[in-house]
Amino acid sequence: MTEDRTPPTKILAPELGLGWQTGFDIVVDVQEIGHDGEIERDWNGKYVDMTEPEFQLYEIRISSSDDMLPPALANMWKGKVFSIVPPNEHTLVIPTGGSSIQFPRKIHSVRAITMSSENVPVTFLDKVATLAAPAVEPIRVIVRYEHEVVVTQPYRNSMQEREVRYTWDLTTEETGNF
């Protein structure tokens, strides 16, 4: 009998090296960056509209409190850029009669369901999800995004020696290259 060594998380981030014995109790917080939606001035005093799509970015914080090994944090210094697909899902609705919808980020995976949770055939390309036929009722389209992020705060990596347990966290923000 072989032991299952599948990573215990759905996060895709090769540079973090999340594998067997790492990622047991992961929490992923995805939130809008605080300055989004504000009107600011540039150095010439001209108004800059921060509500434009290119300023609508996420902060993504990943943490774990019960790992037997830490992830590959040694090169995750402030300014490090890498790609990540968090397990968090985002939903938009295709109204009755519609057949496609554009998301604001590149789609990694997609599924579509009716309001009563019946599966609906759906495909995607880049940021667009398309139904096989026009919707006869509102359809929820649920995706996982691909993000390019930059490390914005020093990582934390702690070990409880007696229990051989690691706790760690890493805070990133989207680069906006989408």
109-154 pLDDT tens trace: 999 999 999 999 999 999 999 999 999 999 999 999 999 999 999 9
Is 166 in contact with 159 (CB distance < 8 Å)? Answer: yes
> Do 56 and 71 belong to one domain?
yes
The residue ranges of DSSP E strands in the chain, in sequence order, are 26-32, 39-41, 47-49, 58-67, 81-84, 90-94, 100-102, 107-114, 119-120, 122-125, 128-131, 139-145, 147-151, 156-160, 165-174
Q: For residue 57, what are the CA distances in angstroms to 138, 149, 169? A: 27, 10, 20
> Do 116 and 168 belong to one domain?
no
Q: Which residues span the domain enclosing 167?
A: 1-85+148-178
> Do 33 and 52 belong to one domain?
yes
Instruction: Count other Cβ atoms within 10 Å, centred on residue 144.
Output: 19
Does the pLDDT of residue 7 top 80, yes or no?
no
Does 126 or 3 have the greater pLDDT score?
126
> Do 135 and 160 belong to one domain?
no
> Do 152 and 80 belong to one domain?
yes
> Do 27 and 67 belong to one domain?
yes
37-94 pLDDT tens trace: 566 777 787 877 777 777 789 999 999 988 888 899 999 999 999 999 999 999 999 9
